[in-house]
Structure 1
Amino acid sequence: MILMITLFTTATFLVLGVSVWVLIKEILTVHVPPPIPQRVKFHMLHYFFQLTIALGNVLEKMKICPMPRFFCFIQDLLVSKNNFGVLVKNMHFGTIPVRLFQPKATSSGPRKGIIFYHGGGGVFGSLDSYHNTCSYLAHETDSVVMAVGYRKLPDHHHPTAYHDCLNATVHFLKELKTYGVDPARVVVSGESIGAGAAAIIAQVVLARKDLPQFRAQVLINPVVQGVNFQLPSYQQYSDVPFLSRKFLMTCACKYLAIDQSWKDAMLKGTFIPPDHWKKYAKWLSSDNIPQRFKSQGRQPEFPGPFNESAYLETNHIFSLETSPLLADDKIIAQLPETFLVSSEYDVLRDDTLLYKKRLEEQGVPVTWCHLEDGFHGCIVLFDKNALSFPCSKKAMSSTVSFIKGI
């Protein structure tokens, strides 16, 4: 009994200590951009986000539970699932968990199909945390939605998530009739790293003549390159809440199984061989970003002096399974109509702008929604009532509008 009381007391003081430390840090160091409304609410959400990570890191250091697993546990625990009147079915395609969302009403013919890959940097996110996003999409667009529960950290690194998404997608595309989906109206979509997976898989499926081709791709705040971390948005919003540049690079290194000691080389671009930059600068340079998104002042030298050791440790970043922005023009030109969502207060804003430019230059029709008051991950808050933001609802309504229109 004394031991249990001691352990409980110690745990309580530990949680309180971490909570106070994170709160002080939130108050003193976190800056919420003025255009974002409801700043107190924003601070509260970011505080609990950071607190969950901090507690997860403590548990990981104590070898009790890995931080990603703890975060996902808390994230899923807090989810209040809403089916929005659609039928929901948990399934497995082989060993890959998927969740199917189907409208209840009968249809006179096959429906649109939406394949959705969730966000979370390969660290967070799950079928549960994006349940409401998918069920709402199914209801509002009268579509069959298939969400993929791909494997992620801490147990699985790249390219496991990509392979899971691809394998589940191929299975679904081969069985569209079973799910009442029109092969000519299938949309591949995702958010954050899931949007990056959607961009990759849209390119891969082009070469699969045995599969129906996608009618459109919907990419919400996508990760489409891991080469240039000195783009304007990476500099302007390096410390933006929810996804700072440092946190992004930490997640990227963990996901890609790159030692954290190479983060500085990745940041400065010293891992980029001169011949690679000569080839890719026309797509990756900050010169491709419209002037209105750039701040004045001296820009850092990029890329830095080449470090061959850094390249050997990180060269899989140049793979199309990691950076779909680097695909040849002939591949980009074949991609389907695209809907892009970017958020102003997001380090990944310029990834979207670069991909938009590439698509448009190759004649791909692009519809672009830029959230002037948006931040990374805001779409998942679209139905959270008091915890929602205008940008959350705009991201969702614009996405629904685009899909309904195809």
Structure 2
Amino acid sequence: MRLRLAGAVLLAAASYYVYLPLPSGVSEPWKLMLLDALIRGFMRASDVAHALGVCHRLHLLNRVVSWVEEVEPRSCSAVHVSDSSLGGVPARVFRPKAGRRLKRGVIYFHGGGWALGSARMRAYDSLCRKMAEDLDSVVMSVDYRLAPEAVFPDQYHDALAAARAFLSAPVLERHGIDPERLCVSGDSAGGNLAAAVAQELSSDDALPVKFKVQALIYPVLQALDFHTPSYQQNRAVPILYRPVMARFWLQYLGGDASLEPLLLANNHSSLEPLLLANNHSSLDQPAIGAGACSKLNWTALLPAERTERFRPATRETGSSRAMAAVPALLDVRAAPLLAELGALAAAPRAYVMTCEFDVLRDDGLMYVRRLRDAGVPVTSDHYEDGFHGCMAFAFAPVWSSVGRKSADNYVRWLDQNL
């Protein structure tokens, strides 16, 4: 009887910990709840280890990821897989064993807040295998350096070095890649790196070979407004909570964790151009300027149906401390959404995937609008039942319908446009 009671209590406690009141439209919510519960458990354990001085929280999280997710480079009948390097940066290479002589080429940057994950993770290994086989393409998945040892612009420089090497004649010739059919792609923080690399290299007139397309999967593109409609709507929706995204940004840009409340309150910036113009000389005003504001003014860049229930978070006075301590908040290499129209106009044809239940949804949708305003052809692929990281659910053991659908549509777009 006591054992049954203890079991019932444990089951109730576990159910209480796992259960989250998710929006009704989320695809297969119990799978998301279970995965989120595991992630929350590991994050809390890492916070305890960090507080006790055992190790940095990111080191423990990456050890867990490595133990649970990383797989060896195993070839199969259709695809040869090997670990190599690209421009001095580690990369996993997927090459079809048959097919056309000259193949498509894809360079891919994984997500993880510039701090977690690797190209060796099972989900990325599976996705790149699928691309290599379904597209008859050579796929190079890059292992850029991670925080806390690496901070901006280290990750960006790794991505840029790998991309330049990928576009070089020796690499294209060695792997039999068609120089007219090249793609740069990535998800989340990797989508940020892919967008930044696409902007930089598309404007480099010295490059004889350039990317034909860019494919961005729920990309993170700015850190000036943590009160966009999607940040407000999805602040407590897993897997990417609003405070976690602010923490990732500070880790990436080398900012102190004490600045997190300023970012979350939009106290580091104001989205009211007139306010900035009138108070630009004040020491307690963030000096970002109306130009930067216009590039992420979601009241103008998003459709009315997405903004009507939300109001911008603006302040008459703000703290200049965050801007002074983390000037990279305004660096277009870190925040591609802030690019000038001229830089965007040179960028390649784009695919941008967004999910309804994702704090980063509006980053992607604003980028779609800005690319189109610059004259760039863009396919906006939005999933009303999707959530951040859902493409990882395209493969066992946690596959879901939105995961499979998003991965299939992403590969189908590449097949039709690359």
Decide: shared fold, TM above 0.5: yes
Shift of 1:300: 4.6
Deviations 1:103-158 (A, max 9, x none): 11142x31110010000001211111121111111111111001110110232112
Equivalent residue, structure 2, for 1:167: 161
SS in 1 for 2:346: coil
* Structure 1: gaps of 5 or more residues: 1-18
| One-letter code aligned to 2:32 | F
Residues 357, 385 of structure 2: 8 Å contact kept: yes
Q: Distance in 2 between matches of 1:20 and 1:57?
A: 25
How do residues 326-405 of structure 1 correspond to structure 2 at under 5 angstroms? 326-385=338-397, 387-405=398-416
Residues 310 and 42 from structure 1, CA distance in 2 versus in 1: closer, same or farther, beyond 3 angstroms? Answer: closer
Q: Distance in 1 between matches of 2:116 and 2:57?
A: 10
| One-letter code aligned to 1:186 | L
Aligned length: 383
Residues 157 and 315 from structure 1, CA distance in 2 versus in 1: closer, same or farther, beyond 3 angstroms? Answer: same
Residues 92, 120 of structure 2: 8 Å contact kept: no
Equivalent residue, structure 2, for 1:13: none
Equivalent residue, structure 1, for 2:324: 312
| One-letter code aligned to 1:258 | G
Shift of 1:249: 0.5
How do residues 133-144 of structure 1 correspond to structure 2 at under 5 angstroms? 133-144=127-138
Equivalent residue, structure 2, for 1:88: 81
Shift of 1:67: 2.3
Residues 230, 302 of structure 1: 8 Å contact kept: no
* Structure 2: gaps of 5 or more residues: 1-10, 271-275, 278-287
Deviations 1:252-297 (A, max 9, x none): 1112111122223223333337253411232211212112223526
| One-letter code aligned to 1:350 | D
SS in 1 for 2:295: helix
Q: Distance in 2 between matches of 1:57 and 1:301?
A: 30
SS in 2 for 1:404: helix
How do residues 180-259 of structure 1 correspond to structure 2 at under 5 angstroms? 180-208=176-204, 209-259=206-256
Equivalent residue, structure 2, for 1:11: none
Q: Distance in 1 between matches of 2:13 and 2:43?
A: 13
Q: Distance in 2 between matches of 1:196 and 1:332?
A: 14
Identity %: 30
Counterpart check, 1:43 vs 2:46: no
SS in 1 for 2:190: helix
Shift of 1:22: 8.1
Counterpart check, 1:104 vs 2:94: no
Deviations 1:337-370 (A, max 9, x none): 1001001000000000100000111111111110
Equivalent residue, structure 2, for 1:123: 115
Deviations 1:19-60 (A, max 9, x none): 998864443xx3222112332222111111111212222222
| One-letter code aligned to 2:404 | K
Residues 75 and 24 from structure 1, CA distance in 2 versus in 1: closer, same or farther, beyond 3 angstroms? Answer: same
SS in 1 for 2:149: coil
| One-letter code aligned to 1:338 | A
Q: Distance in 2 between matches of 1:64 and 1:189?
A: 36
Residues 280 and 123 from structure 1, CA distance in 2 versus in 1: closer, same or farther, beyond 3 angstroms? Answer: same
Residues 127, 147 of structure 1: 8 Å contact kept: yes
Shift of 1:207: 3.0
SS in 1 for 2:305: helix
Counterpart check, 1:63 vs 2:53: yes
Residues 80 and 162 from structure 1, CA distance in 2 versus in 1: closer, same or farther, beyond 3 angstroms? Answer: closer
SS in 1 for 2:174: helix
| One-letter code aligned to 1:117 | F
Partner of residue 294 from structure 1, selected from 304, 307, 311:
307
SS in 2 for 1:284: coil
Equivalent residue, structure 1, for 2:172: 176
User: In terms of mean alpha carbon deviation, does 74-83 or 248-257 score higher?
Assistant: 74-83
| One-letter code aligned to 1:353 | L
Residues 103, 178 of structure 2: 8 Å contact kept: yes
SS in 1 for 2:351: strand
Q: Distance in 2 between matches of 1:177 and 1:187?
A: 16
User: In terms of mean alpha carbon deviation, does 40-49 or 79-88 score higher?
Assistant: 79-88
Counterpart check, 1:53 vs 2:43: yes
Shift of 1:64: 2.6
Residues 270, 307 of structure 1: 8 Å contact kept: yes
Residues 44 and 272 from structure 1, CA distance in 2 versus in 1: closer, same or farther, beyond 3 angstroms? Answer: closer
Residues 271 and 37 from structure 1, CA distance in 2 versus in 1: closer, same or farther, beyond 3 angstroms? Answer: closer
SS in 2 for 1:78: helix
| One-letter code aligned to 2:146 | K
Residues 94 and 342 from structure 1, CA distance in 2 versus in 1: closer, same or farther, beyond 3 angstroms? Answer: closer
